[in-house]
Chain A
Amino acid sequence: MLKIENVTFRYEGSKRPALSEVSLEIDRGEFLLIAGLSGSGKSTLLRLLNGLIPHFYRGEMKGRVLVDGVDTREASVAQLSKKVGLVFQNPDNQIVTLRVDREIAFGLENLGLPREEIIERINEVLKKLGIEHLRKRGTAELSGGEKQLVAIASVLAMKPDVIVLDEPTSELDPFSSARIAKVLGNLNREGVTVVVAEHRLDLFAPKANRMIVMSNGRIVREGHPRELLYRGDISLHGVRPPSVVKLARKYGVVGAQPLAVGELIVALRRGVRIDRS
Chain B
Amino acid sequence: MLDPMGMVEIFRTQVGETPYSRLNPSTKFILFASFIALPLISASLPIQIFSLIAQVPLIILSRSERRVKRSLKASLLFIVVLVVLNYLTTHSLEFSLAMVLRLVSMIIASAIFMTGTSPAEIGDLLTKLKVPLQITFSFVIALRFIPVLADDVVMIITSQVSRGYELERGGFLEKVKRLIPILIPMIIIAIRRGHQLAEALETKAFGAIERRSSYVVYEYGRGDWILLIYAIIVITIGLVVGTLTPQFQLLPFRC
- Taking Cβ atoms with an 8 Å cutoff, the residues of A that contact B are 50, 52, 55-56, 76-79, 81-82, 85-86, 88, 90, 92-99, 101-102, 105-115, 118-119, 122, 138-141, 154-155, 158
Instruction: List B182-198 residues whose CB lies under 8 Å from chain A.
Output: 193, 196-198
A-B contact count (CB 8 A): 115
Per the bound structure, the CA–CA distance linking A110 and B205 in Å amounts to 6
Does B56 lie at the interface of the complex (its beta carbon under 8 Å from any beta carbon of A)?
A: no
The answer to whether residues A81 and B140 also contact, given A76-B208, A115-B215, A138-B14 and a CB cut-off of 8 A, is no
Shortest CB-to-CB span from A120 to chain B, Å, is 11
A64 to chain B, nearest CB (A): 20
Residues of the B chain whose Cβ atoms lie less than 8 Å from the Cβ of A56 = 198-199, 202
Set A92, A94, A113, A154: member contacting B213, Cβ < 8 A: A113
Q: How far is the CB of B86 from chain A (nearest CB, A)?
A: 42
- Whether B199 and A52, one on each chain, are in contact in the complex, defined by CB atoms closer than 8 angstroms, is yes
Name which residue of chain A comes closest to B151, CB basis.
A92
Considering the chains assembled together, what is the distance between the CA atoms of A56 and B118 in angstroms?
33
A105→B206 CA distance, assembly (Å): 12
Picked from A81, A90, A138, the residue with its CB within 8 Å of the CB of B196 is A90
Q: How far is the CA of A95 from the CA of B215 in the complex (A)?
A: 17
Q: Assess whether B196 is in contact with A94, with CB atoms less than 8 Å apart.
A: yes
Asked whether any CB of chain A lies closer than 8 Å to the CB of B251, the reply is no
Contact A78 B199 (CB under 8 A): no
Pairwise interchain contact A107-B199, C-beta atoms closer than 8 A: no
A-B contacts, 30 listed (Cβ < 8 Å): A52-B199, A55-B202, A56-B202, A81-B202, A81-B203, A81-B205, A85-B203, A88-B196, A94-B199, A94-B203, A96-B141, A96-B201, A96-B204, A97-B120, A97-B140, A99-B13, A107-B204, A107-B205, A108-B215, A109-B212, A109-B214, A109-B215, A110-B209, A110-B212, A112-B213, A115-B215, A118-B213, A122-B215, A138-B13, A140-B147
B174 → chain A closest CB, angstroms: 34
- Give Cα A122–Cα B213 distance, bound, in whole angstroms: 15
Q: Among B118, B197, B214, point to the contact of A94 (Cβ < 8 A).
A: B197
A112 touches B202 (CB 8 A): no
Grouping DSSP codes into helix (H, G, I), strand (E, B) and loop, the A interface class, with mixed when no group exceeds half, is helix
Nearest-neighbor residue (CB-CB) of A107 within chain B: B204
**Would you call A93 and B204 a contact (CB within 8 A)?**
no
Q: Are A98 and B148 touching (Cβ within 8 A)?
A: no
Residues of B within 8 A of A77 (CB): 202-203, 205
Interface size class of B (residues with CB under 8 A): 20 to 34
Q: How far is the CA of A102 from the CA of B213 in the complex (A)?
A: 12
Chain A residue at smallest Cβ distance from B211: A112
Contact B208 A78, beta carbon cutoff 8 Å: yes
Tell me the B212-238 residues at the A interface (CB within 8 Å): 212-217
Are B207's CB and A110's CB within 8 A? yes
- Residues of A contacting B143 with CB < 8 Å? 98
Instruction: Using CB atoms, name the residue of chain B closest to A57.
Output: B199
Instruction: Find out whether the CB atom of A105 lies under 8 angstroms from the CB atom of B13.
Output: no
B4 within 8 A of A: no
A98 & B204 in contact (Cβ 8 Å cutoff) = no
Question: What are the residues of chain A within 8 A of B207 when measuring CB–CB?
Answer: 78, 110
Nearest residue, chain A, Cβ from B141: A96
- Complex Cα distance, B200 from A30, in Å, reads 24
- Is B119 on the interface with A (CB-CB < 8 A)? yes
Could you tell me if B120 and A102 are in contact, using CB atoms closer than 8 angstroms? yes
Per-residue interface assignment for chain B, residues 130 to 143, with 1 indicating a CB less than 8 Å from any chain A CB and 0 otherwise: 00000000001101
What's the nearest-Cβ distance from chain A to residue B102, in Å? Answer: 34
| Most chain B CB neighbours (cut-off 10 Å) among A88, A93, A141 | A93
A99 touches B120 (CB 8 A): yes
Shortest distance between the CB of B255 and any CB in chain A (Å): 55
How far apart are B58's CB and chain A's nearest CB, in angstroms?
25
**Nearest-Cβ distance from residue A71 to partner chain B, whole angstroms:** 18
Give the Cβ gap from B211 to chain A, nearest Cβ, in Å.
Answer: 7
Give the contacts of B83-98 with A (CB-CB under 8 A): none
| A93 CB contacts on chain B under 8 angstroms | 193, 196-197, 200
Q: Which residue of A lies closest to B197 (CB)?
A: A93
Are A110's CB and B196's CB within 8 A?
no
Is B208 a contact partner of A110 (Cβ separation < 8 A)?
A: yes
Interchain CB contact under 8 A, A140 and B144? yes
Alpha-carbon gap, A29 to B15, bound state (A):
43
The interface residues of chain A lying within 8 Å CB-to-CB of B196 are: 88, 90, 93-94
What CA separation (Å) do A108 and B204 show in the bound complex? Answer: 8
What is the CB-to-nearest-CB distance from A139 to chain B, in angstroms, rounded to a whole number?
A: 7
Q: Given the complex, which residues of A lie within 8 Å of B198, measured CB to CB?
A: 56
Residue of B nearest to A47 (CB): B199
Contacts of A138 in B (CB 8 A): 13-14
- A112 and B204 contact, CB distance less than 8 A: no
